[in-house]
Amino acid sequence: MNWLNFHAPGAVAGMVRNGSLTDHHPVKKAPRSKPVDHDWTALMSNETTLLKDEAVVAESLSDPAWIRIRDLIYQVSGIYQAENKFYLLVSRATRRMKVVGARTPREYLDFLTARPNRDSEMRNLLNEITIGETCLFRSLPQIDALRKVVIPSLAEAKKKMAFTKLRFWSAGCSTGEESYTLAMILLEETQGSLKGWTFEVMATDLNDRSVAKAQEGVYNDYAVRNVPPEFMKKYFTKVGSDFHVADTVKTHITFSRLNMLDDSKMLFMRGLDVIFCCNVLIYFDGKSKTRTIQHFYNALMPNGYFFLGHSESLFGISEKFRLVHFPGATAYWKSGEPTSKAGTP
């Protein structure tokens, strides 16, 4: 999701306000890094070779300032950049460094923490980091977790109460890629192991234009690159160079405009089994995040699940949800039982 689509009033203000970077380190020991001498001026003067030359990137990766930038991003947004993906962080942050004119990661860290427009710079960086993350069937481990664990376990629990309907919410749906993915998966399941079940997908976004674009359900080949061939054949029609989502999928989705910071509107979202909210909360400040997550918690049925982006976490915001693991994916679970206080990870 593009933050430009989601201008939450005051959402980002204060994000970096108490920018203490090292005193609240969540994993107790900082990853090892070796300080190295660089000549960054020389690096920056030859921009074109900066990222092409792997050795140079490998060397610059070990600058401890990157670790601090990574930790700051995690603290502010909950997005974690694993060290094996550091080159991505570096290449994307380097783009921002060029824009603002920072010559070293250390200097860029100042732009993110000490300068007057640090909040908006953090937004720009987060935007750069999550760019290109929107496509259909984006996270296969999440999809596997849904199909192989989450949906069967929800169905089992609901069947006991004589319910045969599943309700999903794609919160911050942007241009609809996630919403259609969820609807297609649910269609497959209700034609297979969950015969006789019905479902609906609510899809909301703050931005009118995004919602309108989502409703069209028209995507280019890049957006559908991960869609498995059998889904492609069943649920898309090719028109020119575009791919149109079939009406059989569209009828299951209700798109609407919603501001997640509008408490009165959020109160109406109830009785959901699964909520997806990927790369949206990263732009919220702590208070707004806590409030929104409380709304999500209330909106979910007992045993319901809340999914964030694949490397995004709640970072200790909610003690009510339980962090659960599936192969290659994590989610937050509203347990049917009361949570044990001692064991909240």
Partner 1 sequence: MKTETLDRLRSRIVKIDSMPAIPVILRPLLRCLDQPAEQVDMDRIVELVSYDKSIAAQCIRMANSALFMRSMPAETVRSAVMSLGMWRVRDLLFSNSLSKVIPANRWVVDPAVFWRHSLGVALVCRKFAEMIEYPDPEKAYLAGLLHDIGVLVNCMVAPEEFRAAMEKATHEQIPLDEAEQATLGFTHSDSGRILAEAWKIPSDIADAIELHHQIGDPERGGPLVALVHLSDLLCRMRDLGYGYYEPRQVDFASEPGWLYLILKFPSMAEIDLARFTFSLDEYAKEVSDLVATVFAG
Q: Which is nearer to partner 1, 150 or 260 (CB)?
A: 150
Q: Which is nearer to partner 1, 121 or 189 (CB)?
A: 189
Q: Does the footprint of partner 1 cover residue 29 (CB under 8 A)? A: yes
Which of 120, 198, 251, 344 touches partner 1 by CB under 8 A?
344
At closest approach, how far in Å is the CB of 108 from partner 1? 22
Q: Does the footprint of partner 1 cover residue 28 (CB under 8 A)? A: yes
Q: Phi then psi for 166, rounded to 5 degrees?
A: -110, 140
Q: Which is nearer to partner 1, 111 or 307 (CB)?
A: 307
Which of 107, 128, 144, 200 touches partner 1 by CB under 8 A?
144
Which of 20, 41, 241, 340 touches partner 1 by CB under 8 A?
340
Report how far apart the first and last C-alpha atoms of the chain are (Å, whole number): 28
Q: Phi then psi for 170, rounded to 5 degrees?
A: -100, 100
Tell me the C-alpha distance between 156 and 305, whole Å: 14
Tell me the one-letter amino acid at 125: L
In the range 61-80, which residues lie near partner 1 by CB under 8 A? 74, 78, 80
Tell me the C-alpha distance between 214 and 171, whole Å: 13
Q: Does the footprint of partner 1 cover residue 336 (CB under 8 A)? A: no
Q: Does the footprint of partner 1 cover residue 14 (CB under 8 A)? A: no
* Binding span for partner 1 by CB under 8 A among 220-228, 231-239, 240-248, 321-329: 321-329
How far is residue 245 from each of residues 214, 215, 217, 312, measured CA to CA in Å?
Answer: 10, 10, 5, 28
Tell me the C-alpha distance between 255 and 204, whole Å: 6
Q: Does the footprint of partner 1 cover residue 315 (CB under 8 A)? A: yes
Q: Does the footprint of partner 1 cover residue 153 (CB under 8 A)? A: yes
Which of 60, 77, 204, 330 touches partner 1 by CB under 8 A?
330
Q: Phi then psi for 122, rounded to 5 degrees?
A: -65, -40
Q: Which is nearer to partner 1, 148 or 257 (CB)?
A: 148
At closest approach, how far in Å is the CB of 306 from partner 1? 13
What are 200's strand-pairing partners? 167
In the range 282-301, which residues lie near partner 1 by CB under 8 A? none
* Binding span for partner 1 by CB under 8 A among 141-149, 164-172, 192-200, 250-258: 141-149
Let me know how long the chain is: 345
How far is residue 2 from each of residues 42, 100, 150, 171, measured CA to CA in Å?
Answer: 33, 20, 28, 14
Q: Does the footprint of partner 1 cover residue 192 (CB under 8 A)? A: no
At closest approach, how far in Å is the CB of 135 from partner 1? 20
Q: Which is nearer to partner 1, 266 or 293 (CB)?
A: 293
Name the residues that contact partner 1, by CB under 8 A. 26-29, 31, 74, 78, 80, 82-85, 144, 148-150, 153, 311, 313-316, 322-328, 330, 333, 335, 339-340, 342-345
